Amino acid sequence: MRVDRSQLPAVGSDPAFKFPRIVRHTLGNGLAVRTLEHYTVPVVTFVMLIDGGVVSDPAGQEGLAAITADMVDEGTGDLTAIEVSESLAQIGADYDVDVGADAIVFTLTTLERFAERGGGLLADLLTRPSLRLEDFERVRQMRLDRLRQLKDSPPAVAERAFLRLMYPDHPYGHLAIGNDASLSGLELERVVRCHRDIFRPNRATLVIAGPMTHDELRQVADTTFGGWGTSSDPVASTIADVAPSAGAPRLTVIPREGAAQSELRIGHLSAHRNSPDYPSLLVMNAVLGGQFVSRINLKLREEKGFTYGARTGFDWRRRLSPFALQASVHSASTAEAIRDSFAELEGIRGARPPTEKEMLLARASLTRGYPRNFETAQQVARSVAQLALYDLPDTYFEEFIPKVNAVSADQVVSAAQRYIDPARASILVVGDHHAIADSLASLGYGAPQLLSADV
């Protein structure tokens, strides 16, 4: 049968997506457990989500949660950091820790036959870390060295400064790694107290996925984490919601003399992760700047040639989250890139509603490859941890594709009108101030506020 290669194949309907059944348990010590049967390969993944990421850092001790999490695999009992690494290697385990805005997430994946050994080792690390002084001083120095490296990275400098602009008086306003002053002043005693206060079963959720029954997975959880001390103390919320800041500077510049490019951030606080408008926001972002064929990228890269790539997105948190456009553009094009970006932000709000083709591409970018996110036990377990983090229903993943496909162009425009306000957007530029000052003045946003890279 001849194939007509001059025509793209017809796009069919999305196949039904079935997510593994989630079963919830609670251990005697109060630890919440969610299990998933996943039989594709003989591996088991443990994901432990602990409330208390960046947002739990006290003022002046930024980076505390992250360095505490980093200390966990530096030893347990008589085991040194090297011996812990060897123990993980002996069972073919993959170990990872991620410190986010609202939680710390530990992941360990190992072979099914080592499920109890792997879970037991993770339990030892999380509940009985050595927290030795020599390890602490080494880890702290490594983080201080990393901070110095980040100062030479315009994207890292922009990210750090933009968070501070968005959250000037909120714990969300700093990177997980902290800053020079806070890390230099941290002492091991404070790390020990942080571990004692945060690492408790009543503020944690354990997700286990693997080729075992729900009862068997629960038994593994009980065997490995059932001895974690019971904590009946109520968990006081450390997360205050945040209102959009009316006092954020309109235009901020971090001078970087001689820079050939300007690192741009344009945005403001926008939406909550559990907003009922979430599907519309995703489609809106895909049209605007969330994929290669988005308006922002086609304008700044393909039409103007200002950048290798520009994108927009939400940095989701439990509370009010920022929406931002980011790009690195040639210095001489800085002002024009900002002007074009604002034109696209305005256009999506109604002046240029999404076309039928844009809507088709946007929905497809979100749904066509969606099942690929759940191929492995680790992907499945980490996804369920996100449900726990944002208090989303167990049916969320199966409902995602139908909800996205139901989003209309009118809903995209409505979402943009509600959650994107160019008049409130802050503009941050990391670049050669002397080279771009005159062109920035032509934008009409007034004199920029100048900040140092150490903001």
H/E stretch holding 94: strand 94-99
Q: Is residue 367 part of a domain?
A: yes
Residue 109: strand, helix, or coil? strand
Q: Is the pLDDT of residue 413 over 80?
A: yes
- Residue-level pLDDT at 239: 60
Contact in structure between 22 and 394 (CB atoms under 8 Å):
yes
How much is the average pLDDT of 72-76?
96
pLDDT interval class at 186 (50, 70, 90): very high
Contact in structure between 304 and 339 (CB atoms under 8 Å):
no
Q: Is residue 183 part of a domain?
A: yes
Q: Is the pLDDT of residue 94 over 60?
A: yes
Neighbours of 292 (CB within 10 A): 12
Residues 192 and 269 in one domain: no
Residue 110: strand, helix, or coil? strand
Q: Which ranges constitute the DSSP H helices of 167-268?
A: 180-185, 188-198, 214-225
Residues 261-279 have pLDDT tens digits of 999 999 999 999 999 999 9
Residues 242-256 have pLDDT tens digits of 766 556 679 999 999
Residues 171 and 300 in one domain: no
Would you say the C-alpha torsion 444, 445, 450, 453 has a positive or negative sign? Answer: negative
Residues 101 and 205 in one domain: yes
Residues 149 and 270 in one domain: no
- Residue-level pLDDT at 70: 97
Please, what is the Cα angle at 62 between 60 and 66, to 5 degrees? 150
Question: 226 — phi, psi (to 5°)?
Answer: -65, -25
Domain boundary among the residues 225, 240, 268 is at: 225
pLDDT interval class at 234 (50, 70, 90): low
Give the number of domains in the chain: 2
Residues 107-123 have pLDDT tens digits of 999 999 999 999 999 99
- Residue-level pLDDT at 240: 62
**Residues of the domain holding 189:** 23-225
What percentage of the chain's residues is helix, strand, coil (to nearest 5)? 45, 20, 35
Which residues have C-beta within 8 Å of that of residue 73, sequence separation ≥ 6? 81, 84, 85, 95, 97, 125, 129
Q: Is residue 289 part of a domain?
A: yes
Residues 287-332 have pLDDT tens digits of 999 999 999 999 999 999 999 999 999 999 999 999 999 999 999 9
Residues 216 and 356 in one domain: no
Residues 257 and 313 in one domain: yes
Q: Is residue 156 part of a domain?
A: yes
Residues 72 and 177 in one domain: yes
Residues 337-378 have pLDDT tens digits of 999 999 999 999 999 999 999 999 999 999 999 999 999 999
Q: What is the CATH number of the domain that holds 28?
A: 3.30.830.10
Neighbours of 161 (CB within 10 A): 23
Which residue bears the tokens 């200002």? Answer: 306
Please, what is the Cα angle at 75 between 69 and 77, to 5 degrees? 120
CA dist 63 and 10 (Å) reads 51
CA dist 231 and 28 (Å) reads 10
Q: Is the pLDDT of residue 37 over 90?
A: yes
Tokens matching residue 28: 């005697």
Q: Is residue 105 part of a domain?
A: yes
Of 305, 300, 295, nearest to 345 by C-alpha is 295
